[in-house]
């Protein structure tokens, strides 16, 4: 069994977290729906790698379980469901957005800075291993949130939601060394069910409105 | 003194020799991914040799700029190459300039290329020039900022110092997150600046959307050879920069023969690896429409900006 | 071992799965009626137990203290009548051929799981498992809201799923932040997620982290509670969901979300004092009351009308909790009375909806004459909801206003003027429906289905009127036990 010095370990975890953040930016800039889903799958792989790294460095073994679940659910099952949904759609790329890509990127940049600003007073509290991870986790959550606002297509809004979940999971594993196993399992179950339910809704919206453009949902207003 | 001179000569030879090889590697990877056997890795050398033997044709409507540009471009790119540590972290020319000099040496070449596109007065050349101007104006801020982010981590704008410091660090790098963002930004900039997919397609002279090829459409013979060689060197400069600034491990930090030998070998492996990566990217992605290029480069700009901001926040 | 607590959470699960598997409609009905009875009695037993012994627990997961017991009372009582009502309502839909028997069974499965998730959320001992349970209730509610699959229902469901998923994600981040700071005191164990441990060590937690956590929790669970400005999903969801679900959303789910905020508030108050959380909650509460009071006036859909009234009342409760002291007592009392009155109002609206098959307010005047029970229930509930005596909501609103006056008179003036506006608009709209001459004849309801629904309405109104006149002794004990939890010493008046 080889050892990694804590400092190197901390850097590796930060590096993985930064990779997650990079894929976020790629998702924000990507217009093709299927590519967004692929990028989400890639992000989940990075997430699993981060979790496995934390598990290895801390010796908390149940985080390995969480990492394995991440790969299965977020990198394989959910992307596959989303791809199935996309296959049924009549569009493959998103041309109209509520906020266009360059402006969106600027907003995301601001969100990252905001996340660092918010977590700055909390970070010194953290473990050595996880200096930036909490800030990056919050940044990913905010960017996922932003994606849900900026996009009109139901599928990309779902991707935004899942990105938020990835941010949460990063926060839980990297910053807090993972929640207890039963909690992780519960959260995973919920995420999976949420993904399924949102998938069901996308299907039904496609059937009822002949589109997954959520800006066409205008039956209800004051 | 003699040692410095030897290093300069070695680096010049290295850049001249390796750049066509890198172009060959990318072409080979692309061919393989398209299930073709592809030309030999050394085909670019043969191409250059052939072009040098041919007589150039110069349009009567062109000015002195047309004939001078290939030499200026070649010389400025080679000079830029001398500022980047390749196999040894201490470069003899480091007194002559730093990152900023590097960026503007490359920009000088671009500037003359743009002039040449306009000089011949052909429609294609003009189009290529205006597009190149757009791309260059978008890449430059991103490039400067990503490099500054790195310079801040090392506390110097001198490339040799940056590389030397990073190579001697324990652990990977000082601050992984800004580093990674700057790396991603610089990689995008490199793709745009050297005219690769998804910004430009170097493999065709037939697309209405070409940029670099449109500007140099009028060149032939030895002029074309020089321009192509310079383009190859520019690519190599960027690859060297990415490889050594972000992953300087294995570079010779002292001037012993053994260290230099290892440094050379590691360097070749690193740049070939990056070339393979570019080949893969060129096969996987389609060229972006011109007005989408600004979004692509916007990503680079934002990432570079974030790298800078991160640095300030982390250092408090 | 506190078996009523276990029964309370297990019963809806069993009844729900049983209904899904039962081939026969009568069997499902029997199961649901049994569940309704057991829910109410189990809730009362839990209240009894907690009132006498201080707590009821099933180690290591469940522990009901006074506050949980209070929520059990609300959820059990309204959940019971709601189940009864759903039997009648869905029975009518089934008889009219608007849902198939398969979908009828699915409905009850989802409905019961939804109740179970909420009951679990208020009784679990673990912060994160509470989150899981709340998320579970969100997901089952999401399917219930879109149950009718019309365009409007899908739109409402989609808005709900998206907004509450975002909210719940932010709440989880808040939870993670709490864990992040508590594990520095308690170590990396699941102990660091237990409410009782958190309260014990709250004073030594990191103030900055806990403050940030509370902001995320308030926004996150606040979205689920329909607090302005995150309320936009609420009117749509309440209006488009099947009526029994609207009643459960308004009476129960909003209260559960407020409960979650309260639990965290208790931690934050111990760490940084109560003014931080109090100011935030009073601010959001006032904003909610203001938005709801204005929008009540322009509603043309009677289910939306009651939905906006829910936003108003949750806002009032938040102000009460934010003020602390007697405000906490009043706000808890407010939640119970609001749950009873609002579910009665929705039950009655459901009857109207079944009869007229539209939700347009102008076209259903003269309800008192046309449908005496529904019209009467809407009138009584409307009077209660607009804060008139002799109902509990009057007492709680007065107490909250007094508390606000003692703390910051400005808040009291704002609150009182908004309450007056809301009072006038709600009463005006309710009277428009209750009085006058009926315009349309509508469709008759099956008498059997009518019986179930009437029973639910009668039970609710009876409970509402009884507790309006006098606070029962057990409730007084519970409320007295909760007040110190928030640093107050208020005795039941």
Q: CB B176 to CB A14 under 8 A?
A: yes
Distance from CA of A188 to the nearest CA of C (A): 10
pLDDT of residue C491: 43
Closest of C299, C381, C374 to residue C339, by C-alpha: C381
The answer to whether C61 faces chain A, any CB pair under 8 Å, is no
* Span of B260-269, C10-19, C468-477 with lowest mean pLDDT: C468-477
Q: What is the pLDDT of residues B7-53, one digit of tens each?
A: 888 889 999 999 999 999 999 999 999 999 888 999 999 999 999 99
Q: What is the pLDDT of residues C68-110, one digit of tens each?
A: 999 999 999 999 999 999 999 999 999 999 999 999 999 999 9
Query: Quick check: C116 and C19 in contact, CB under 8 A?
Result: no
Query: Quick check: C485 and C198 in contact, CB under 8 A?
Result: no
Interface of A with C in 101-140 (CB under 8 A): 118-119, 121-122, 125-126, 134, 137-138
- Evaluated on CA atoms B143, B145, B148, B152, the torsion sign reads negative
CB pairs under 8 A between A and C: 134
The H or E element that residue A137 is part of is helix A133-150
C177 chain-A contacts, CB cut-off 8 A: 122
- Asked if residue C492 has pLDDT above 60, the reply is no
A137 chain-C contacts, CB cut-off 8 A: 173
Q: CB C298 to CB A222 under 8 A?
A: yes
* Span of B166-175, B196-205, C139-148, C210-219 with lowest mean pLDDT: B166-175
How far from chain centre, in Å, is Cα C161?
A: 18
Q: CB C142 to CB A217 under 8 A?
A: no
CB atoms within 10 A of CB C337: 25
A8 chain-B contacts, CB cut-off 8 A: 170-172
pLDDT of residue C460: 94
* Span of A38-52, A55-69, A110-124, B209-223 with lowest mean pLDDT: A110-124
Please state, in angstroms and rounded to a whole number, the distance separating the CA atoms of residues C125 and C144. 27
pLDDT of residue B22: 94
Q: Which residues of chain B have pLDDT under 70?
A: 91-97, 170-174, 313-316
Q: CB A194 to CB C135 under 8 A?
A: yes
Distance from CA of B310 to the nearest CA of A (A): 8
pLDDT of residue B314: 65
Query: Quick check: B183 and A138 in contact, CB under 8 A?
Result: no
pLDDT band at A131 (very low <50, low <70, confident <90, very high): low
C134, C143, C162, C174: best to mutate for the A interface, most A CBs within 10 A: C162
Cα-Cα-Cα-Cα torsion C456, C460, C465, C466, nearest 10 degrees, comes to: 100
A24, A27, A39, A105: best to mutate for the B interface, most B CBs within 10 A: A105
pLDDT band at A209 (very low <50, low <70, confident <90, very high): confident
pLDDT band at C396 (very low <50, low <70, confident <90, very high): very high
Nearest CA in chain A to C300: A222
A5 chain-B contacts, CB cut-off 8 A: 170-171
* Span of A143-157, B54-68, C215-229, C475-489 with lowest mean pLDDT: C475-489
Burial, B130: exposed, middle or buried (Cβ in 10 Å; 0-12, 13-18, 19+)? middle
What is the DSSP pairing of strand C62-64 with strand C56-58?
antiparallel
Burial, C137: exposed, middle or buried (Cβ in 10 Å; 0-12, 13-18, 19+)? buried
pLDDT of residue B171: 56
A/C Cβ contact: 3+ pairs below 8 Å: yes
Go through chain C and tell me how many residues it has: 493
A108 chain-B contacts, CB cut-off 8 A: 302
Please state, in angstroms and rounded to a whole number, the distance separating the CA atoms of residues B176 and B169. 13
Enumerate the domain spans of chain C: 3-486
Please state, in angstroms and rounded to a whole number, the distance separating the CA atoms of residues C469 and C228. 32
Q: What is the pLDDT of residues C347-375, one digit of tens each?
A: 999 999 999 999 998 899 989 999 999 99
Q: What is the pTM of this model?
A: 0.88
Nearest CA in chain B to A18: B177
- Asked if residue A3 has pLDDT above 80, the reply is no
Please state, in angstroms and rounded to a whole number, the distance separating the CA atoms of residues C210 and C375. 48
Instruction: Quote the ipTM score.
Output: 0.92
Across the interface, which of C136, C146, C184 has its CB nearest the CB of A201? C146
Q: What is the pLDDT of residues A184-198, one digit of tens each?
A: 888 888 888 888 888
Interface of C with A in 188-247 (CB under 8 A): 188-190, 193, 206, 208-209, 212, 236, 239-240
Nearest CA in chain A to C236: A220
Looking at per-residue confidence, does B254 or C230 come out higher? C230
Closest of A95, A107, A105, A103 to residue A213, by C-alpha: A95
Q: Give B88's strand partners.
A: B252
Enumerate the domain spans of chain A: 6-216
Residue C64's φ and ψ, nearest 5 degrees, are: -105, 115
C351: Cβ–Cβ under 8 A, 6 or more apart, which residues? C371, C373, C374, C445, C450, C453, C457
Q: CB B295 to CB A17 under 8 A?
A: no
* Span of A204-213, B274-283, C403-412, C473-482 with lowest mean pLDDT: A204-213
Please state, in angstroms and rounded to a whole number, the distance separating the CA atoms of residues C291 and C311. 8
How many alpha carbons lie under 13 Å from residue A35 in its C-beta half-sphere? 16
How far from chain centre, in Å, is Cα C336?
A: 8
Residue C229 tokens, joined = 């400005």
Query: Quick check: B181 and A18 in contact, CB under 8 A?
Result: yes
Residue where the block lists tokens 């001037």:
B255
Nearest CA in chain A to C152: A219
Write the DSSP string, chain B. Answer: -HHHHHHHHHHHHHHHHHHHHHHHHHHHHHHHHTT---S-TTHHHHHHHHHHHSPP---TT--HHHHHHHHHHHHHHHHHHHHS-SSBSS-GGGGG--HHHHHHHHHHHHHHHHHHHHHT--HHHHHHHHHHHHHHHHHHHHHHHHHHHHHHHHT-S-HHHHHHHHHH-SSS-S-HHHHHHHHHHHHHHHHHHTT-TTT--TT-S--TT-SHHHHTTT--HHHHHHHHHHHHHHHHHHHHHHHHHH--TT-BSS--HHHHHHHHHHHHHHHHHHHHHHHHHHHHSPPPPHHHHHHHHHHHHHHHHHHHHHHHHHT-
Nearest CA in chain B to A25: B299
How many alpha carbons lie under 13 Å from residue C284 in its C-beta half-sphere? 27
Distance from CA of A43 to the nearest CA of C (A): 18
Please state, in angstroms and rounded to a whole number, the distance separating the CA atoms of residues B231 and B20. 9
The answer to whether C177 faces chain A, any CB pair under 8 Å, is yes
Query: Quick check: C234 and C307 in contact, CB under 8 A?
Result: yes
Across the interface, which of C132, C151, C176 has its CB nearest the CB of A171? C176
Across the interface, which of C135, C154, C193 has its CB nearest the CB of A205? C154
Q: CB A134 to CB C126 under 8 A?
A: no
% residues pLDDT > 70 (chain A)? 94
Q: CB A11 to CB B313 under 8 A?
A: no
- Asked if residue A6 has pLDDT above 80, the reply is no
Q: CB B303 to CB A25 under 8 A?
A: yes
């Amino acid at each position: 069994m080889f050892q990694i010095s804590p400092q190197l370990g901390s850097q590796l975890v930060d590096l993985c977290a930064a990779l997650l953040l990079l894929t976020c930016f790629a998702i924000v800039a990507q217009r093709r729906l299927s590519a967004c889903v692929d990028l989400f799958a890639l992000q989940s792989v990075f997430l699993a790698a981060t979790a496995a790294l934390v598990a290895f460095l801390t010796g908390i073994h149940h985080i390995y379980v969480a990492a394995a679940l991440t790969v299965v659910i977020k990198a394989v099952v959910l992307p596959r469901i989303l791809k199935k949904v996309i296959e049924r759609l009549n569009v493959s790329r998103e041309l109209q957005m509520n906020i266009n890509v360059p402006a969106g990127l600027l907003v995301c940049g601001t969100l990252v800075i905001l996340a660092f600003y918010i977590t700055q007073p909390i970070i010194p509290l953290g473990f050595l291993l996880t200096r930036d991870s909490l800030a990056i986790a919050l940044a990913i959550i905010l960017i996922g949130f932003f994606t849900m606002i900026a996009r009109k297509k139901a599928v990309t809004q779902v991707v935004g939601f899942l990105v938020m979940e990835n941010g949460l999971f990063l926060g839980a594993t990297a910053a807090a060394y993972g929640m207890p196993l039963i909690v992780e399992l519960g959260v995973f179950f919920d995420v999976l069910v949420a993904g399924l339910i949102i998938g069901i809704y996308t299907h039904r919206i496609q059937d009822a409105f002949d589109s997954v453009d959520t800006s066409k949902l205008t039956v209800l207003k004051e | 003194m003699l040692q410095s001179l030897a290093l300069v000569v070695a680096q010049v030879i290295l850049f001249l020799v390796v750049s066509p090889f890198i172009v060959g590697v990318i072409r080979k990877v692309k061919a393989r991914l398209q299930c073709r056997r592809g030309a030999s890795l050394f085909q670019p050398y043969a191409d250059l040799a052939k072009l040098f033997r041919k007589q150039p044709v110069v349009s009567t409507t062109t000015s002195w700029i047309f004939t001078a540009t290939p030499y200026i471009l070649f010389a400025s790119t080679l000079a830029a190459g001398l500022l980047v540590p390749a196999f040894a972290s201490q470069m003899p020319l480091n007194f002559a300039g730093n990152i900023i000099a590097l960026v503007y040496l490359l920009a000088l070449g671009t500037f003359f290329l743009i002039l040449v596109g306009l000089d011949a007065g052909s429609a294609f050349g003009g189009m290529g020039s205006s597009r190149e101007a757009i791309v260059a104006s978008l890449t430059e801020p991103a490039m400067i900022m990503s490099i500054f982010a790195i310079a801040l981590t090392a506390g110097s704008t001198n490339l040799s110092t940056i590389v030397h410091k990073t190579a001697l660090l324990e652990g990977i790098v000082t601050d992984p997150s800004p580093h990674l963002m700057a790396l991603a930004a610089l990689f995008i900039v490199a793709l745009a600046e050297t005219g690769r997919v998804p910004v430009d397609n170097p493999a065709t002279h037939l697309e209405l959307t070409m940029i670099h090829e449109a500007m140099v459409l009028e060149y032939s013979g030895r002029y074309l050879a020089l321009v192509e060689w310079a383009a190859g060197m520019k690519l190599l400069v960027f690859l060297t920069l990415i490889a050594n600034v972000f992953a300087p491990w294995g570079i010779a930090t002292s001037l012993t023969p053994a260290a230099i030998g290892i440094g050379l070998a590691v360097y070749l492996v690193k740049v070939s690896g990056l070339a393979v990566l570019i080949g893969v990217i060129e096969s996987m992605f389609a060229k972006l429409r011109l007005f989408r290029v600004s979004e692509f480069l916007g990503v680079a700009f934002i990432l570079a900006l974030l790298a800078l901001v991160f640095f300030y926040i982390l250092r408090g | 071992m506190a078996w009523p607590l276990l029964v309370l959470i297990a019963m809806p699960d069993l009844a729900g799965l049983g209904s899904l598997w039962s081939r026969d409609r009568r069997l499902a009905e029997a199961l649901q009626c049994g569940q309704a009875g057991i829910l109410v009695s189990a809730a009362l037993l839990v209240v009894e137990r907690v009132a006498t012994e201080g707590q009821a627990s099933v180690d290591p997961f469940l522990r009901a203290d006074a506050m949980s017991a209070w929520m059990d009372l609300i959820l059990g009582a309204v959940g019971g009548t709601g189940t009864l009502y759903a039997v009648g309502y869905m029975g009518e839909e089934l008889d009219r051929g608007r849902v198939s028997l398969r979908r009828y069974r699915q409905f009850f499965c989802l409905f019961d799981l939804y109740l179970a998730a909420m009951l679990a959320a208020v009784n679990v001992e673990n912060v994160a498992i509470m989150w899981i349970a709340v998320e579970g209730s969100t997901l089952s509610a999401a399917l219930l809201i879109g149950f009718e699959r019309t365009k409007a229902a899908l739109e409402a469901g989609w808005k709900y799923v998206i907004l509450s998923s975002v909210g719940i994600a932010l709440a989880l981040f808040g939870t993670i932040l709490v864990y992040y700071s508590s594990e520095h005191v308690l170590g990396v164990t699941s102990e660091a997620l237990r409410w009782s441990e958190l309260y014990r060590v709250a004073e030594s937690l990191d103030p900055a982290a806990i403050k940030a956590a509370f902001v995320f929790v308030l926004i996150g669970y606040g979205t689920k509670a329909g607090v302005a400005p995150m309320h936009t999903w609420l009117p749509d969801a309440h209006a488009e969901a099947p009526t029994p679900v609207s009643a459960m959303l308004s009476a129960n789910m909003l209260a559960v979300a407020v409960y979650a905020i309260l639990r965290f508030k208790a931690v934050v108050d111990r760490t940084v004092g109560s003014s931080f959380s109090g100011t935030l909650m009073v601010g959001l509460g006032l904003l909610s009351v203001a938005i709801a009071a204005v929008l009540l006036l322009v509603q043309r859909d009677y289910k939306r009308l009651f939905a906006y009234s829910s936003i108003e009342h949750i806002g009032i409760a938040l102000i009460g909790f934010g003020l602390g002291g007697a405000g906490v007592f009043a706000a808890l009392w407010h939640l119970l009375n609001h749950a009873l009155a609002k579910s009665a109002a929705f039950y009655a609206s459901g009857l109207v909806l079944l009869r007229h098959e539209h939700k347009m307010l102008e076209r259903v005047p003269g309800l008192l004459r046309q449908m005496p029970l529904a019209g009467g229930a809407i009138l009584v509930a409307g009077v209660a909801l607009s804060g008139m005596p002799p109902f509990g909501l009057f007492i709680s609103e007065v107490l909250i206003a007094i508390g606000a006056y003692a703390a910051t008179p400005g808040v009291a003036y704002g609150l009182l003027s908004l309450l007056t506006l809301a009072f006038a608009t709600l009463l005006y709209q309710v009277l428009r429906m209750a009085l006058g001459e009926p315009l349309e004849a509508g469709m008759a309801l099956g008498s059997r289905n009518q019986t179930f629904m009437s029973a639910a309405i009668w039970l609710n109104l009876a409970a509402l009127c009884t507790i309006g006149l006098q606070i029962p002794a057990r409730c007084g004990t519970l409320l007295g036990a909760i007040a110190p939890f928030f640093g107050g010493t208020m005795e039941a008046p």
